Amino acid sequence: MRDYPDVSIIPFNGKTPLIHPSAFIAPGCRIIGDVEIGEDASIWYNCVIRADVNRIRIGARSNVQDGSVIHCDSPGDGISRPTEGWPTIIGEDVLIGHMAMVHGCTLQDRSFVGLGAIVMDGCTIESDGMLAAGALLSPGKTLPHRQLWAGRPAKYMRDLSDDALVQLRGGADRYVHYAKAHRGAVKDALD
């Protein structure tokens, strides 16, 4: 696809990924199935976003950084797993660091997932919550608003300061800018 060089956008089970025209999708990405990517979002080099068994939503200005994997969980029996399963819902202005794994969970607006971190089925990271680099948020956990959790398994470390929140919120704006610059560089490389 000319607009998305070296990107696989693959329909699955009758669902085709929907990508806002302003979103940046870097070369090497694989986007499959029931995926929606919002305005000014950015999906960086070599990410996999696979919505083959449930849906994935990525909100405006959110970014999924290089090498990350986003998946969802299939519908269950209503006893051990919810009947509807666990979709992956990523709000607006969310930062997901390089090589993160995000699976069947909810990341509310302005949440942060650090480099190499893992968020598992049924988890929620509330708005302005931060999961540190390398951390593992085990199934069903909720990381509350304005908290930093770290470790494997992740545990509460401290509340985030106002200054920390200002820095995190600036990250989403920076990535919108970076995406525009990379879109130009990719286009120039093809011309």
Integer-rounded Cα radius of gyration of the chain: 16
One-character DSSP codes across 132-158: PTT-EE-TT-EE-TTEEEETTTTEEEE
Is 70 exceeded by the pLDDT of residue 1? no
Would you call 184 helix, strand, or coil by DSSP?
helix
Per-residue pLDDT of 126-165, as tens digits, reads 999 999 999 999 999 999 999 999 999 999 999 999 999 9
Per-residue pLDDT of 36-72, as tens digits, reads 999 999 999 999 999 999 999 999 999 999 999 999 9
Is the peptide bond prior to 139 cis by the omega test (within 30 degrees of 0)? no
Residue among 107, 127, 108 at smallest CA distance from 119:
107
Q: What is the pTM of this model?
A: 0.95
Would you call 132 helix, strand, or coil by DSSP?
coil
